[in-house]
């Protein structure tokens, strides 16, 4: 078993859209943090790396450019739960969604669960692929401009009336977020915050995304159940949002262009 850290550089030149390319990688070696604790694995964020203990490999990913898709991995309101909540597993309140479609110009709808909502943003990424397969995106610092709108229940637009889950809207798509356990803090009992890491599956996340997307089409677009299921099969793309945050995520991408009016 090995852990490899890859360092990417983001650049924009000659009027081109920003891209990232790999600069070098290195295999993790045991590191001692400022408290004297040895980390045989990269098991805690921010562990300082002694450059004299690693060997840099500059011969990686030659002639590869990664398009920049900046977004915040974590977009959350506070869950209706007393006590500390792990910021890693996402759920109905949002959280560690790790979906790159939440980038510039997108709108993210979250059901408010506590007074004041208590919005949190973090985990900024320069780019990420669906699944975040190795556990990280291109991690970076980022400053965002965010507009917060409180949609009161009495005045909700039709497409939001039945939304009790994170919904992403872009100029061209609605993106429905499903999870292995959509409300794991209630579903899995008093040990939910540890059990969610043991009991998640892509199958369960796919079922949840399907059910939510079916409900969205029936509520927001007034389709019958038979119509919704047929459209989901022939015209909607499902993808794996992430498999690294305890509560696995699957999203359904519904293109607005499917509807002619």
pLDDT band at 161 (very low <50, low <70, confident <90, very high): confident
Report how far residue 198's alpha carbon sits from residue 260's, in angstroms, rounded to the nearest whole number: 44
**pTM of this structure:** 0.93
* CA 261 – CA 222 distance, rounded (Å): 13
Query: CA–CA separation, 168 vs 101, rounded Å?
Result: 7
251 contact partners, CB below 8 Å, separation of at least 6: 99, 101, 168, 175, 176, 177, 178, 209, 238, 239, 241
Partners of 72 in the beta sheet?
124
Per the DSSP assignment, residues forming a β-bridge with 122 are 74
Q: What is the pLDDT of residues 33-80, one digit of tens each?
A: 999 999 999 988 889 999 999 999 999 999 999 999 999 999 999 999
| DSSP for 183-229, written as a single string | THHHHTGGGHHHHHHHH--HHHHHHHHHHHHHHHHHHHS---HHHHH
With a cut of 90, say whether residue 155 has pLDDT above it.
Answer: no
**What is the Cα–Cα distance from 125 to 200, expressed in whole angstroms?**
24
- The per-residue pLDDT for 210 is 98
Q: Is the pLDDT of residue 157 over 80?
A: no
Residue 158 pLDDT grade (very low, low, confident, very high; cuts 50, 70, 90): confident
Cα separation, 116 vs 243, in Å, equals 30
Residue 154 has pLDDT above 90, yes or no: no
Closest to 109 (Cα-Cα) out of 96, 123, 93, 98: 93
Ordered by where they begin, the domains of the chain are 4-67 (no CATH), 71-258 (3.10.28.20)
Please state at what angle helix 225-235 crosses helix 202-220, rounded to 10 degrees.
Answer: 120
Please check the confidence at residue 174 and state whether its pLDDT lies above 80. yes
- Residue 1 confidence class, pLDDT cut points 50, 70, 90: confident
pLDDT at 118 over 80: yes
Distances in whole angstroms, Cα of residue 151 to Cα of each of 159, 173, 212, 236, 240: 12, 20, 20, 27, 28
Contacts 24+ apart (CB under 8 A), 235-238: 238/206, 238/209, 238/210
């Amino acid at each position: 078993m090995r852990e490899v850290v890859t360092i990417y550089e983001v650049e924009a030149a000659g009027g081109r859209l920003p891209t990232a390319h790999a600069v070098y990688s290195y295999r993790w070696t045991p590191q001692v943090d400022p408290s004297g604790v040895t980390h045989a694995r990269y098991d805690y964020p921010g562990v300082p790396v002694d450059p004299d203990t690693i060997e840099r490999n500059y011969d990686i990913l030659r002639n590869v450019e990664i398009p920049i898709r900046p977004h915040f991995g974590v977009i959350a309101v506070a869950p209706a739960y007393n006590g500390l909540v792990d910021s890693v597993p996402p759920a109905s309140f949002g959280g560690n969604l790790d979906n790159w479609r939440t980038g510039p110009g997108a709108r993210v709808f979250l059901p408010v669960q506590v007074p004041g909502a208590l919005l949190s943003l973090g985990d900024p990424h320069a780019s990420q692929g669906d699944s975040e397969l190795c556990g990280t995106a291109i991690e970076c610092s980022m400053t965002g401009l965010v507009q917060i709108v409180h949609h009161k229940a009495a005045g909700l637009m039709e497409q939001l009336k039945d939304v009790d889950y994170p919904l992403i809207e872009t100029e061209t798509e609605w993106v429905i977020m499903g999870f292995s356990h959509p409300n794991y803090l209630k579903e899995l009992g008093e040990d939910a915050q540890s059990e969610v890491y043991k009991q998640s599956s892509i199958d369960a996340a796919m079922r949840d995304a399907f059910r939510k997307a079916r409900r969205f089409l029936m509520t927001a677009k007034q389709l019958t159940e038979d119509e919704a299921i047929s459209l989901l099969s022939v015209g909607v793309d499902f993808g794996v949002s992430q498999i690294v945050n305890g509560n696995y995520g699957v999203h359904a991408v519904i293109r607005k262009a499917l509807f002619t009016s």
